[in-house]
């Protein structure tokens, strides 16, 4: 299956994301540069990787969300293309309007990097279906601006429609209602601050992240 990872200036988890995709699909993903104006033909799943796109200047993810490639991505995502954003990628997704809410500075004001226990709150989503009866997973977090915020109406709606996919067991950043990962109404766009792509290898962060990639790939 053709997958792609978009690389912005100062993306830094593009390699991590590529490894995860290769491990699950058996094929190297296409690495797409931010200045491209169109995604390559036939791509079925796109990852927006973590990092500090454009140096996090202005607001995290804000400049990347205005890049030529993201314009095309938004159009295609609105027509059903599967997209996931991790960490900075999640920030790009909220900035581009594909996902609701915003990510603010961590409540503790410091960068935080640690393995974080998460609760799967919707195991029927396209990104979690393979987890079966598993309710807890551990993914590393590594961010300075992961404090998820949205107004109550939006949060209520997200919860009611099953769009909250993961919650923190021990909230590291002050996110509203412990939200760690959400998807859009249609269920094809997903974003989370923790790094499932750094949990695909027993020697490095465990393997809890594999099923997330398997779920979405299988759903396509």
Partner 1 sequence: MDIKTKITPQIVAEHGLSEEEYQIILDRLGREPNINELGIFSVMWSEHCSYKSSRRHLGKFLTKGDRVIQGPGENAGVIDIDDGDAIIFKMESHNHPSYIEPYQGAATGVGGIMRDVFTMGARPIALMNALRFGEPSHWKTKQLVNGVVAGIGGYGNCVGVPTVGGETNFHKGYNGNILVNAMCVGLADADNVFYSAAKGVGNPIFYVGSKTGRDGIHGATMASAEFDDDSEEKRPTVQVGDPFTEKLLIEACLELMATDAIIAIQDMGAAGLTSSSIEMADKGGVGISLNLDKVPQREENMTPYEMMLSESQERMLMVIKPGKEKLAYDIFEKWELDVALIGKTTDTGRLVLRHNRKKVCDIPIAPLADDAPNLDRPYEIPASLPVLNSDEVHETQDYDDALVRIISSPDIASKRWIWEQYDRHVMADTVDSSQSGGDAAIVRIHGKNKAVAISTDCTPRYVQADPYMGGKQCVAETWRNLTCVGADPIAITDCLNFGNPERPEIMGQFVGAIEGMNEACRAFDYPVVSGNVSLYNETNGVAIPPTPAVGGVGLIPDLEYFTTLKGAKEGDTLILIGETQGWLGSSIYLREILRREEGAPPPVNLETEKLNGDYVRKLIRNKRVNAVHDCSDGGLAIAACEMAFAGDIGMHLSRAIGCPTHAWLFGEDQARYLVAVEENSVNPVISTAQAKGVSAQIVGKVGGDRIKADGAFDVSLAGLREKHEGFLPELMS
- Residues at the interface with partner 1 (CB under 8 A): 9-13, 15-16, 19, 50-52, 54-57, 110-115, 140, 142, 144, 195, 197-198, 200-201, 203-205
Altogether, the residues listed in the chain come to a count of 220
Q: Respond yes or no: is residue 144 known to be catalytic.
A: no
| Strand bridging mode 136-143 / 112-120 | antiparallel
CA distance 169 to 41: 40
Instruction: Kindly state the smallest distance separating residue 16's Cβ from partner 1, in Å.
Output: 4
**Active-site annotation holder among 60, 87, 95, 143:** 87
Nearer to partner 1, 55 or 132 (CB): 55
Q: Respond yes or no: is residue 87 known to be catalytic.
A: yes
Q: Would you state the structure tokens that stand for residue 59, as one six-digit string?
A: 């607001």
Cβ partners under 8 Å of residue 190, min gap 6: 83, 84, 85, 125, 126, 127, 165, 181, 182, 183, 184, 216
Instruction: Kindly state the smallest distance separating residue 64's Cβ from partner 1, in Å.
Output: 12
Nearer to partner 1, 56 or 178 (CB): 56
Instruction: Kindly state the smallest distance separating residue 91's Cβ from partner 1, in Å.
Output: 14
H/E stretch holding 148: strand 147-149
CB-based contact 192:90 (threshold 8 Å): yes
Q: Respond yes or no: is residue 143 known to be catalytic.
A: no
Instruction: Kindly state the smallest distance separating residue 132's Cβ from partner 1, in Å.
Output: 25
- Residues annotated as catalytic are 87, 195, 197
């Amino acid at each position: 299956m053709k997958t792609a990872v978009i690389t912005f200036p100062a993306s830094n988890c593009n390699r991590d994301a590529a490894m995860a995709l290769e491990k699950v699909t058996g094929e190297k993903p296409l690495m797409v540069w931010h200045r491209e104006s169109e995604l390559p033909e036939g791509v079925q799943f796109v990852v927006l990787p973590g990092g500090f796109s454009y140096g996090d200047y202005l607001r995290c993810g804000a400049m990347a969300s205005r890049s030529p490639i993201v314009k095309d991505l938004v159009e295609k995502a609105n027509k059903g293309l599967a997209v996931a954003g991790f960490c900075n990628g999640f920030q790009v997704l909220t900035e581009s309007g594909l996902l609701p809410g915003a990510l603010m500075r961590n409540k503790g004001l410091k960068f935080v990097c640690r393995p974080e226990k998460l609760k799967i709150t919707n195991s029927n989503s396209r990104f979690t279906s393979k987890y079966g009866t598993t309710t807890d997973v551990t993914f590393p977090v590594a961010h300075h601006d992961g404090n998820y915020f949205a107004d109550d109406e939006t949060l209520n709606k997200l919860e009611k429609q099953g769009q909250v996919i993961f919650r923190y067991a021990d909230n590291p950043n002050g996110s509203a209602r412990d939200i760690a990962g959400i998807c859009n109404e249609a269920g094809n766009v997903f974003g989370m601050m923790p790094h499932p792509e750094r949990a695909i290898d027993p020697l490095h962060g465990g393997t809890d992240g594999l099923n997330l990639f398997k779920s979405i790939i299988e759903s396509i």
